Amino acid sequence: MALTRDYSHYVKELDTGIAHLDLAVEGVSCAGCMAKIERGLSAIPEVTRARVNLTDRRLAVEWKKGAVDPAALIDRLAELGYKAYPFEPVRAEIVEAEQSRFLLRCLGVAAFAAMNVMMLSIPVWSGNVSDMLPEQRDFFHWMSALIVLPAAAYAGQPFFLSAWRALRAGGVNMDVPITIGVILALAMSVVETIHHAEHAYFDAAVMLLTFLLAGRYLDQNMRRRTRAVAGNLAALKAETAAKFVGPDEISEVPAASIRAGDIVLLRPGERSAVDGEVIEGRSEIDQSLITGETRHVAAEKGTPVYAGTMNVSGALRVKVAAAAEGTLLAEITRLLENALQARSRYVQLADRASRLYAPVVHVTAALTMLGWVAWGASWHDAIVTAIAVLIITCPCALGLAIPAVQTVVAGAMFRAGVLINSGDAIERVSDVDTVVFDKTGTLTLPDLDVVNAQNIPSDVFSLAGRLALASHHPVAAAVARAAQARAPLSGAQEEPGKGVRAMIDGVEVRLGSPSFCDADGLANEILSRDPEVSVVAFRRGTQCHVFAVRQQLRPDAVATIAALKQRGIVVELLSGDREPAVQHAANALGVGIWRAGVTPAEKIARIEELKRQGRKVMMVGDGMNDAPSLAAASVSMSPVSATHLSQATADLVFLGRELSPVVAAIDYSRKAVYLMKQNIWLAVGYNALAVPVAIVGLATPLIAAAAMSGSSVLVMLNALRARHAGQEVR
Amino acid sequence: MEVLVYLVPLALGLGALGLAGFLWSLKSGQYDDLDGAAWRAIADDDPPQAAPKKKLGSP
């Protein structure tokens, strides 16, 4: 059967007869890689441009349309030593990249205006105490207005729009007082300038915008970076399918381009990227990612296959189905939708603070105005003082207090292997007092591992590993991985459903089922001790060994569970797997509360029950069957190996073989919320000092500018403390 | 003090020039890959055909 690879789905055609392809590249880490890739690809004459983005670990290639096959470019990269996968940016990522550019443009404009206004303001401040002529002062004020008014109108857009949206939805957010403060400050300054007055607040307004934009840009940038990594990981998983394009011809196409009714080939050891039904072939399939059940299911004509199931032994032809009603998948999708609807909107700390803050500030300003009028001041002076109060209380520090901490913590969590999917996840994780784990793929590693390696001589092990490279069977793959085999044996032949064999120095070596290797006795002995393992036998002449293979617990699972308990968090285990397997894991980890054979609906019911008891539940799971309960929990986390659906639902995604990111996420989040609250109190404390000064009418533009930048810098410095949190899990 | 009438606009013009430069650099994608740009600045720019000459031992 001929196999071609078809990447045309990913190739974008630019109007000038140039084709463009974005690739996620594995292993690009330094300047050397960058130069090597760019030179290697530019050496192909038809390639017009090859540029590596080191921040996002991506490569953009352009070539004359029709001159190069994209698959050849990927092969060329493989020759250079880099694995590359075609990449399709998700919509959310494109939107965020655009927003981040817009914020940077706004920041540039605001910073330009702030710097140039300072050039004009400092002479006015010093001139007011010396001998500046009123005409000169007016000239400087008018110049300031000329710079600041257009700059604020442009750079203030992110705040004005957000405030407008909040007001239209009948709510208040932090941008409402910011917008009111900035607009009033500018309006008053214009009026004062017209009346040749001494004070104008153009500088304070534009500095406020600059500080806030800097905080927001950094926050946005961190989020964009996290999303880029998550996008790369999705691309590296390379969801492709072997589609039949002729009766005997298959083409490797991206899963996204498969349509209902297509027929795909599912080879042994391959994970299905589509939902469908078997139309030809016999095999065993591993549905553990879907149901949590680790025992393999027999597949024959008519058996439904879901995306995420692994084909174990024989090749299958699968007819792709549309989202069918009444299947397990449809049931999971329905539960997921219900759970997402029921998920109550968490009110973020910033919004809660601004709900209290905005009325207090505006009432204070109004009282100041009335107070001054009652004291006998003119309406003009009273209004100017009231507006000065609003400018001073404009929540510069408060607006930075939370995004600054979020940025620092997202960066620290990123380094600890945790990617943040949803914006308010940090605050929700910090409240967690119960963690519910799924077993298969979450507490255990997603791949199989050899458990009796210490009983097998190392030369036998490495030989078996090399022989195993010739097989696609997942158990054989586990042996090859455990032996760290690199060089396949030449002349190895696979006997479908039995095993592989080869000749070495005239002696036959075999790896496969116990009966294929004449090792039933030894295999039964191992199985009687531990019925959960899968066995694979190896024979060289008269020498015979049996490998026991199973999903291992993550290396630090015991320590992580202990660390969670030490933090006063209740740990539960809910699994779709059979009772003996779940019990074994629960005992090994010291988890007292566990349930086995749980359906997706029962998982949700348990989480709802815990929530009714007032618990804040974090769900950690990877399977398709976990997706609804991930959505139902207060906050959720998935390993990066999880199904697409679960990963999209989870608030946090963790990388690597270890489970400790779960603890790291909780530690960092707790520290973050502690610092956010501390920052809010710092901002409130600053207001308590500055507001009386403004109320008595002493807030000159100089004081406003100094107080504003002082408090902003203080809050930012405090946020940097979030970089270090918690102890290492050992 | 009449000198201010053209000195201040001149200063602002220079500032605006800086801003225009920043917006241009942003538009031409110079902020898209900050990590990469740091390395590119110190990379040798040999033509792709010529084998890169490396002097061992020199800093």
**Is this complex's ipTM strictly greater than 0.90?**
no
Say whether both A143 and A162 belong to one domain. Answer: yes
Report DSSP letters for B15-44, one per residue. Answer: HHHHHHHHHHHHHTTTTS-HHHHHHHTTS-
Position A271 confidence tier, pLDDT thresholds 50, 70, 90:
confident
Position A176 confidence tier, pLDDT thresholds 50, 70, 90:
confident
Is residue B23 within 8 angstroms of chain A, CB to CB? Answer: yes
Domain containing A462 equals 447-551
Gap from A31 CA to chain B (nearest CA, Å): 5
Is residue A455 within 8 A of residue A684, CB to CB? The reply is: no
Instruction: Give the amino acid at A303.
Output: T
Gap from A54 CA to chain B (nearest CA, Å): 5
In a domain, A571, yes or no: no
- Top-ranked range on mean pLDDT: pick from A109-113, A313-317, A331-335, A482-486: A109-113
Position A323 confidence tier, pLDDT thresholds 50, 70, 90:
low
**Of A222, A188, A643, residue with least CA distance to A390:** A188
* Best mutation target, A98, A116, A220, to test chain B (most B CBs within 10 A): A116
Position A102 confidence tier, pLDDT thresholds 50, 70, 90:
very high
Instruction: Select the residue of A55, A108, A136 nearest B1 (Cβ to Cβ).
Output: A136
Structure tokens at A401: 């207090």
Separation CA A173–CA A690 (nearest Å): 22
Structure tokens at A220: 């946005």
Do A31 and B42 make contact, defined as CB atoms within 8 angstroms? Answer: yes
Which pLDDT value is given to residue A340? 67
Instruction: Select the residue of B1, B36, B49 nearest A53 (Cβ to Cβ).
Output: B36
Query: Which of the following is catalytic: A56, A219, A438, A577?
Result: A438
A380 φ/ψ angles, rounded to the nearest 5 degrees: -60, -50
Range of weakest confidence among A26-30, A138-142, A155-159? A26-30
Q: Is the pLDDT of residue A729 over 60?
A: no
Q: Is the pLDDT of residue B55 over 50?
A: no
Higher pLDDT, B56 or A80: A80
Quickly tell me which residue has 């998983």 as its tokens.
Answer: A237
Do A39 and B35 make contact, defined as CB atoms within 8 angstroms? Answer: no
Q: Is the pLDDT of residue A277 over 80?
A: yes
Torsion sign across C-alpha atoms B42, B47, B48, B53: negative
Q: Which residues of A fall within a CB distance of 8 Å from B13? A: none
Average pLDDT over all residues of chain A: 83
Instruction: Return the CATH number at A18.
Output: 3.30.70.100
In a domain, A586, yes or no: no
In a domain, A193, yes or no: yes
Say whether both A71 and A106 belong to one domain. Answer: no
Gap from B15 CA to chain A (nearest CA, Å): 7
Strands A18-25 and A58-64: antiparallel
Instruction: Select the residue of A31, A105, A116 nearest B26 (Cβ to Cβ).
Output: A105
Do B12 and A34 make contact, defined as CB atoms within 8 angstroms? Answer: no
Separation CA A462–CA A713 (nearest Å): 59
Position A160 confidence tier, pLDDT thresholds 50, 70, 90:
very high
In a domain, A2, yes or no: no
Torsion sign across C-alpha atoms A8, A12, A14, A18: negative
Separation CA B43–CA B24 (nearest Å): 24
DSSP type of residue A554: P
A438 is an active site residue: yes
Which pLDDT value is given to residue A220? 83
Do A43 and B49 make contact, defined as CB atoms within 8 angstroms? Answer: yes
In a domain, A645, yes or no: no
DSSP type of residue A577: S
Q: Is the pLDDT of residue A14 over 90?
A: no
Position A540 confidence tier, pLDDT thresholds 50, 70, 90:
confident
Gap from B44 CA to chain A (nearest CA, Å): 9
Q: Which residues of B fall within a CB distance of 8 Å from A34? A: 36, 39-40, 43
Say whether both A242 and A311 belong to one domain. Answer: yes
* Best mutation target, B3, B5, B6, B8, to test chain A (most A CBs within 10 A): B8
Say whether both A536 and A467 belong to one domain. Answer: yes
Instruction: Return the CATH number at A496.
Output: 3.40.1110.10
Burial A436-460 (b: 16+ CB within 10 A, else e): bbbbbbbbbbbbbbbbbeeebeeeb
Which pLDDT value is given to residue B50? 42
Instruction: Tell which phi-psi region holds residue B24, choosing left (phi > 0), alpha (psi between -120 and 50) or beta.
Output: alpha
Range of weakest confidence among A101-105, A154-158, A324-328, A396-400? A324-328
Position A400 confidence tier, pLDDT thresholds 50, 70, 90:
confident
Separation CA A620–CA A637 (nearest Å): 5
Position B45 confidence tier, pLDDT thresholds 50, 70, 90:
low
Q: Which residues of A fall within a CB distance of 8 Å from B23? A: 105, 108
Structure tokens at A87: 């990449």
Do B31 and A119 make contact, defined as CB atoms within 8 angstroms? Answer: no
Q: Is the pLDDT of residue A688 over 90?
A: no
List C-alpha distances in Å: A530 to A20, A305, A524, A573.
Answer: 54, 29, 10, 21
Last-in-domain residue among A521, A551, A581: A551
Say whether both A316 and A275 belong to one domain. Answer: yes
Say whether both A536 and A466 belong to one domain. Answer: yes
**Structural element, H or E, at residue A589:** helix A579-589
Is residue B24 within 8 angstroms of chain A, CB to CB? Answer: no
The answer, as to whether pTM is greater than 0.80, is no
Which pLDDT value is given to residue A238? 60
Helix orientation angle between A349-374 and A175-194, rounded to the nearest 10 degrees: 30
Say whether both A103 and A212 belong to one domain. Answer: yes
Position A150 confidence tier, pLDDT thresholds 50, 70, 90:
very high
Quickly tell me which residue has 């009444």 as its tokens.
Answer: A326
Contacts by B5-8, CB closer than 8 A, 24 or more apart: B8/A120, B8/A139, B8/A140, B8/A143
In a domain, A584, yes or no: no
Position B52 confidence tier, pLDDT thresholds 50, 70, 90:
very low
Instruction: Give the amino acid at A592.
Output: G
Which pLDDT value is given to residue A312? 81
Last-in-domain residue among A306, A330, A354: A330
Is residue A640 within 8 A of residue A307, CB to CB? The reply is: no
Q: Is the pLDDT of residue A494 over 50?
A: yes
* β-bridge mates for residue A435, sequence order: A571, A618
**Of A364, A365, A380, A250, residue with least CA distance to A317:** A250
Say whether both A342 and A321 belong to one domain. Answer: no
Which pLDDT value is given to residue A130? 63
Is residue B40 within 8 angstroms of chain A, CB to CB? Answer: yes
Which pLDDT value is given to residue B21? 93
List the helix and strand counts (H, then E) for chain A: 23, 28
Instruction: Tell which phi-psi region holds residue A303, choosing left (phi > 0), alpha (psi between -120 and 50) or beta.
Output: beta
Based on the structure, what is the number of domains in chain A? Answer: 4
Is residue B18 within 8 angstroms of chain A, CB to CB? Answer: yes
Q: What's the per-residue H, E or C state across A644-706?
A: HHHHHHCCEEECCCCCCHHHHHHHHHHHHHHHHHHHHHHHHHHHHHHHHHHHCCCCCHHHHHH
Q: Is the pLDDT of residue A730 over 70?
A: no
Say whether both A106 and A41 belong to one domain. Answer: no
Which pLDDT value is given to residue B49? 47
In a domain, A597, yes or no: no
Q: Is the pLDDT of residue A380 over 60?
A: yes
Q: Which residues contact A15 (CB under 8 A, 6 or more apart)?
A: none
Gap from A135 CA to chain B (nearest CA, Å): 11
Instruction: Give the amino acid at A115.
Output: M
In a domain, A564, yes or no: no
Q: What tens digit of pLDDT does each residue of A562-595 get? A: 999 999 999 999 988 888 888 888 998 888 899 9
Higher pLDDT, A618 or A358: A618
Rg of the Cα trace of chain A? 32
Say whether both A15 and A105 belong to one domain. Answer: no
Which pLDDT value is given to residue A453? 80
Do A42 and B48 make contact, defined as CB atoms within 8 angstroms? Answer: yes
Cβ-Cβ pairs closer than 8 A, A with B, add up to: 59
Instruction: Select the residue of B12, B39, B49 nearest A31 (Cβ to Cβ).
Output: B39
A118 φ/ψ angles, rounded to the nearest 5 degrees: -60, -40
Average pLDDT score over residue span A83-91? 77
Say whether both A125 and A221 belong to one domain. Answer: yes
Do B4 and A55 make contact, defined as CB atoms within 8 angstroms? Answer: no
Instruction: Return the CATH number at A248.
Output: 2.70.150.10
Structure tokens at A134: 């009123």
Last-in-domain residue among A87, A112, A127: A87
**Of A470, A473, A497, residue with least CA distance to A485:** A470
Is residue B45 within 8 angstroms of chain A, CB to CB? Answer: no
Rg of the Cα trace of chain B? 21
Is residue A28 within 8 A of residue A57, CB to CB? The reply is: yes
Average pLDDT score over residue span A534-548? 85
**Structural element, H or E, at residue A437:** strand A434-437
Gap from B43 CA to chain A (nearest CA, Å): 7
Do A55 and B33 make contact, defined as CB atoms within 8 angstroms? Answer: yes
List C-alpha distances in Å: A314 to A243, A269, A291.
Answer: 17, 9, 21
Instruction: Select the residue of A53, A101, A119 nearest B33 (Cβ to Cβ).
Output: A53
Say whether both A320 and A363 belong to one domain. Answer: no
Burial (CB count within 10 angstroms: exposed 0-12, middle 13-18, buried 19+), residue A621? buried
Q: Is the pLDDT of residue B47 over 70?
A: no
